[in-house]
Amino acid sequence: MRVIGLTGGIGTGKSEAAAALAELGAEVIDADAEGHLAYRSGTPGWERVVELFGRDILGPDGEVDRSKLGSIVFGNPAALASLNEVVHPLIRERIEARLAELAASGTGIAVVDAALLYQAGWDDLTDEVWVVTAPQDAVAERLVARRGMSEQTLRRRLEAQGPAGALGSRADATIDNAGSLSELRDRVGYLWHQILKEGSASHDKQD
């Protein structure tokens, strides 16, 4: 099984790229969704997060309210580091387990969709990494228009994810999302078909 790591900063279009890969036939593991499960109510992760930040971060249903938690950790490097120290190992365990399941089922291509792929050290679970990038002005416009983010929140989120060019310098492929959704999907499709061609060539050699 070939494993692609898919990463990119907030507002770059990473989720749209992941959706395109799923439509093409990849099995996508959403690290953010795995994070939700890693500290759902009643789990050791939940207990540790509540121990760190108090019960004020809980919603009426007893689950961690991510918006409340985010308001604490974004803009507070020490708090964010403490959260990541607890949650990242739990998410990694879930990703590893899911990859093992997919490999056992005969899956050809899996994608680990993770904004913090490099920061959390999960890139070693992948065979290659694709990064989705976009100009900062386009990112800002998308986040304000689509998510209603304030300028202050936007600035804190962008600062938390680090320098914009750092991811692209380490990735095996860069997907530029400066244009339309259709153009993004075309770029993803091109990379996908390159993988299929490489797989076919490898199979031919073995024959």
- We find that the CATH architecture of domain 2-202 is 3-Layer(aba) Sandwich (3.40)
Burial class (CB within 10 angstroms; exposed 0-12, middle 13-18, buried 19+) of 134? buried
Tens digits of residue pLDDT in 41-76 = 999 999 999 999 999 999 999 999 999 999 999 878
Measure CA of the first residue to CA of the last residue in the chain; give whole Å. Answer: 19
| pLDDT tens digit at each of 207 positions of the chain | 999 999 998 889 999 999 999 999 999 999 999 999 999 999 999 999 999 999 999 999 999 999 999 999 987 899 999 999 999 999 999 999 999 999 999 999 999 999 999 999 999 999 999 999 988 777 777 777 666 666 666 666 666 665 555 565 688 999 999 989 999 999 999 999 998 878 654 444 444
Q: How far is CA 44 from the centre of its chain?
A: 23
Q: How far, in Å, are 75, 130, 173, 200 from residue 123 at the CA level? A: 25, 10, 14, 25
5 strand-pairing partners:
112, 129
How is residue 46 written in tokens? 């939940």
Q: How far, in Å, are 50, 142, 192, 202 from residue 109 at the CA level? A: 37, 30, 10, 15
Tens digits of residue pLDDT in 148-169 = 666 666 666 666 665 555 565 6
How is residue 83 written in tokens? 């959260």
